[in-house]
Every structure is written in C-alpha cells, then in structure tokens.
Structure 1
Amino acid sequence: MESVYLSGSTGYIPGRVNVGLFQTKNGFWMVDSGIDDEAGRKIARFVEELGVPLQRIITTHSHADHCGGNRFLKKRTGCSVAATKLEAIIIEETFLEPLLLWSAFPFAELCNKFLQAKPSTIDKVIPNKGIIDESGLEAVPLPGHYLDMIGVRTPDDVFFIADSVFSEQIIEKYAIMFVLDVGSALETLSFLEKVNAAWFVPSHAPAVQDIVPLANANRKGLLRVSEAVLECCSRPSGRDDIVQALADRFSLSMSVSEYLLNSAAISAHLSWLRKEGHISPVVTRGRLVWKKNS
C-alpha cells in the first residue's frame, strides 16, 4: 500500500476509495477506512510499518465503502471513530442503509458488503461544521449525496471532499450517480467551485488542485439525468418505468444492489423536479405516476 503526500503532513492512500491521511506528533488521523476488513487490514499494516499510531478515523458518511474498515481498525489499533450524528446512527446500525433503499427490512440479496458494512461504534459525534478535535481538522458540510456528509479540511489546506464529486470516467460508465437531494448536491458543487484550497481529494477521483472542471462535469451529469427523467414524464410514468428507460438510454446493466441505488437516485431527481414545479405525482389504477406539468 502506497501513500501520496500532497502538502505538509497531509496525504492519502489511493484506491477504489481514497483514504485521507493527516499526521501529528501524536499519530495519524484518517479520513474514511475503505469497504471491508481487507481494506482495514491493509491500512493497519501500512500504519504499523511506519511505526506511528492510528488515533482516529473521521468518517465522512455512512456508505459501506467509506466505513467498512472501521470495525477491524478499531479492534486492531485501538483507534477511535468520529462521525456526524445522522451518519453515526447508520454506521452503528448498518442494516439501516439497505432498509432505507428498500423501504422495509432488506431481503438476502441486499445484505452484502457494498450496501451493509460491519457495524462499528462511534466514539465521538461531531458537528458537520467546525474544528473536529485537537488535530485541527475541520468538518465542512457537503449536503446532497447522503444524510449529513462532511468534507474534512486539514491545517495543510488539503480538502477531502468525499462523494461530492465523482471522476468523469465513473460518470460516463454509470451515468446515474447516487444522490439523495439533487438541489443540495448542485449547491455543494457551486460551493466547491468557490473554495480556495491547495488540494482537493475526492473519494472516487485523483487529487486535483483545481476542482472547477470536475465540479462542472458532475453538474452536467446530474442535469443530464434530470433532463432524461423529465422527458420520461412527458407521458405518465412510474419510477420503475423511468429506471428502465434510463437503463436503455445509457446502456446500463444492473445488479439487484445497483438497481436499488439507481431507483433511489431517480427518486431524488423526481423530488427535485417536483420542487422546481416541473412535474406532479398522480395515483392512477393503483400506481404512482409522474406527469410533466403543462
């Protein structure tokens, strides 16, 4: 496992989920922990080889690929874990993530490491804004992607921005990016474009010094999906109809988990289009359908 240092005592471990690193005289602080025990095991080996204790994991949000290594690392290193209040609830009770997607207790195919991490105890509940602890790390609210996701800014002016943006390659491959609140996600992108930082580190893209091009690509991706959803509503369409139409349009094949994630994202676009006054919901013949307003 290799690390990339960006500025001062701040770096990250590149991977499917970039793990943030910040070192003080007392040890390492980490931003997120990867998807599972194996990710946690690799991080533990990395820290142990350096001979520096792992003090705390700051978890940006409760999606499994960001908190799945928490439990292993806590047990192996004795570190603590911090998260915001709403995210902490799901990190400690991870069955809630697939439950939220399915709107009921999840069936077997949803109980996997991609949707349900091993639960881990939260030692410190932190606000979504302000200095986190003695490390000097700062929590910055980045709403839109999940319940109360934060970014983490270090004293070295490196800004870990979690899942507020995705790489252009991911957008091109998957088309429908997971989001809970489209309006807030768009506001977060506008906020990031105005932030001055030495480096920006997304969870699913390489570190960059200029976030504007990537923020713009993510905005275009979100609006492309919203426009496609609105087009579907030119005739009365249920959510499943819209998911199927977008799968055809973007040539998407889906697992059961991916279907649920895409369905939730489409729901977010429907809610936003309703808020903007573009569509309205109607129940007809036992189906909830959405119609474009004239």
Structure 2
Amino acid sequence: METVKLGIATEYIPGRVNVGLYVSDNGARLIDSGLDDEAGRKIARMLEERKIPLQRIVTTHSNADHCGGNAFLRKRTGCSVAATKLESVVIENPFLEPLVLWSAFPFGELENKFLQAKPSEVDLIIENSGIVDESGLEAVPLPGHFLDMIGVRTPDDVLFVADSVFSEELIEKYAVMFVLDVGAALETLDRLIRAEAAWFVPSHAPASENIVPLAEANRKGLLRVSEAVLESCGEPASREKILQGIAGRFSLSMSVSEYVLNSAAVGAHLSWLRKRGQVAPVVEKGVLLWRKTR
C-alpha cells in the first residue's frame, strides 16, 4: 500500500476513498478507514510493516465508504474511534444510513456494504470544530453532504475535506452529487474557496495545493442540478418524475442504491428551492407534486 507524503507527519493513502494518515510520537491517527474489512486489513498490514501503532480513527462522517474499515481496525488494533455526535449514531447503528435514504427500514437490495458499513463503537465524541485530541488534529465543520460532516486539519497544515467536493470526472459521470442540504453545501464551498492550507485532500479527488477550481466546479455542478430540478417543476411533478427527467437529461443509468441516493439528493434540491420560494408542494390524488411558484 503506497502513501503520498504531504508534510513532515502527514500522508494519505490514495484510492477510491482517500484515507488520511498522521503519524506522531505516540502512534498514528487515520482520517477515515475506507469501505470495508479489506480496506482495513490493508491499512493494518501497512502500519504493522512500518511498526506504527494505530491510536485512533477520526471519522469525517458515517457514509459507509468512510467508516467501513473501522470495525476491522478496532478489533485488530484496539484503536479508538472519534466522530461527531450525530455521525456516531449512524456509525454505531449503520442501518440508519439506508433508512435515511429510503425513509423506512431498508429492503434487501439496500443492505450492502456501499450503503451500510459494519457497526463500530465510537468512544470519543468530538465537536465539529476545534482540537480533536493531544495529536493536534483539528476538526473543521463541513455541513451539507451528510448529518454533521467534518474536515480534519493536521499540524502540518494539510486539510482533509472529506466529501465537500468531488472530482470533475465524477461530476461529469454522475451529474447528481449526493447532498442532504444544498444551501449548507454551497456555504461550505464558499468557505473552502476562502480557506488557506498547504494542501487540500478531498476523499474523491487527488490532493491539491489549490482547492478553488475544484470548489467552483462543484458549485457549478450543484447549481446545474438545481436548475434542472426547477425546470422539471414547470408542470406539477412528483419527485420520482423529476428524477426520471434528470436521468434522461444527464443520461444516467442507476442501480437501486444509486436511485435512492439520487432520489434523496433531488429531495435536498427541492427543499432548497422551497426555502428560496421557487417551488411549492401540493398533494393531488394522493401524490405529492412540486410546482414552480409564480
């Protein structure tokens, strides 16, 4: 397992989900743990070969691809797990992630490792802003994507920004980037544009010394989807009908898991447009419809 060194004590492990590594005198801190047991096993093996004890995993948020290795690593190393209060509830009760997406207990096709990690205990509840522990890692609030997501800044001034931004390739491929709160996600992008750090490390894009172009691309992508959702409400339309139109507009083919993710994201855009007074809900013949306001 290769790592990329970004500071005296800060590295990251590139992959489908970039995992942060901060090594101090008393051991290592991970920033997230990857998708599953296999990701955890590879990380454990790498640390064992380097003879570095794992002290703690700081989990940015509870999406399965960020905490899926927690259970394996905690069992193998006895490490601590830290997360914010809201995110810790899902980390310890991971069926809640597909429950949030589907708004009911999940059916079988949603009970998969991409939407539901193995449960792992969180033994350190942290605030979403401020110093995490004696290592000097600092939590940075990054609202919008999930319940209470954080970024993590290391003493080397490397800022891990989790899922606040996605690569331009992913935006082009999937069009609809998952968020639960569009307004908060846009505000987070504004803060990232103003932020200063030696390096920025997104979870789903390469590390960069300048986050501004990527933040702007994500802003453009979010607003493009909001515009498409608003246009779909020219005639009263259900969320399912709106998502069908979005899929056609951006040539999306979806698995069941991708469908519920995109449906939740469309719901987030509708909530944001309603807050701005651009759409309004109405129930007709037992169907919740959305229409543009005058």
TM exceeding 0.5? yes
Aligned position for 1:40: 40
| 2:262 paired with 1:275 | no
Task: Give the distance between the partners of 1:4 and 1:228, measured in 2 at CA.
Answer: 39
Displacement of 1:69:
0.1
Task: Give the distance between the partners of 1:144 and 1:195, measured in 2 at CA.
Answer: 17
Task: Give the distance between the partners of 1:185 and 1:97, measured in 2 at CA.
Answer: 19
RMSD: 0.4
Displacement of 1:78:
1.1
Aligned position for 1:236: 236
Question: Tell me, which stretches of 5 or more residues in structure 1 are unaligned?
Answer: none
Aligned runs of 1:109-120 on 2, under 5 Å?
A: 109-120=109-120
Task: Give the distance between the partners of 2:248 and 2:80, measured in 1 at CA.
Answer: 45
Aligned position for 1:151: 151
Aligned position for 1:67: 67
Give the % identical residues: 72
Q: How many correspondences in the alignment? A: 294
1:97-118 deviations in whole A, cap 9, x for unaligned? 1111111111100000000000
1:197-240 deviations in whole A, cap 9, x for unaligned? 00000000000000000000000000000000000001100000
Matched to 2:180, the amino acid is: L
1:250-284 deviations in whole A, cap 9, x for unaligned? 00000000000000000000000000110000001
Matched to 2:166, the amino acid is: F
Aligned runs of 1:222-261 on 2, under 5 Å?
A: 222-261=222-261
Aligned position for 2:20: 20
Task: Give the distance between the partners of 2:180 and 2:105, measured in 1 at CA.
Answer: 20
Task: Give the distance between the partners of 1:15 and 1:48, measured in 2 at CA.
Answer: 20
| 2:263 paired with 1:263 | yes
Aligned position for 2:220: 220
Task: Give the distance between the partners of 1:63 and 1:128, measured in 2 at CA.
Answer: 16
Matched to 2:34, the amino acid is: G
1:63-115 deviations in whole A, cap 9, x for unaligned? 00000000000011111100000000000000011111111111100000000
Residue 112 of structure 2 aligns to a residue whose secondary structure is: coil
Aligned position for 1:193: 193
Displacement of 1:120:
0.2
Residue 42 of structure 1 aligns to a residue whose secondary structure is: helix
Matched to 1:284, the amino acid is: E
- What's the TM-score, normalizing by structure 2? 1.00
Aligned position for 1:132: 132
Residue 281 of structure 2 aligns to a residue whose secondary structure is: strand
1:10-39 deviations in whole A, cap 9, x for unaligned? 010000000001010001101000000000
Matched to 1:239, the amino acid is: R
Matched to 2:57, the amino acid is: I
Residue 5 of structure 2 aligns to a residue whose secondary structure is: strand
Residue 152 of structure 2 aligns to a residue whose secondary structure is: strand
Task: Give the distance between the partners of 2:27 and 2:130, measured in 1 at CA.
Answer: 21
Question: Tell me, which stretches of 5 or more residues in structure 2 are unaligned?
Answer: none
Task: Give the distance between the partners of 1:59 and 1:189, measured in 2 at CA.
Answer: 20
Displacement of 1:7:
1.3
Displacement of 1:144:
0.2
Matched to 2:35, the amino acid is: I
Displacement of 1:8:
1.4
Task: Give the distance between the partners of 1:100 and 1:219, measured in 2 at CA.
Answer: 24
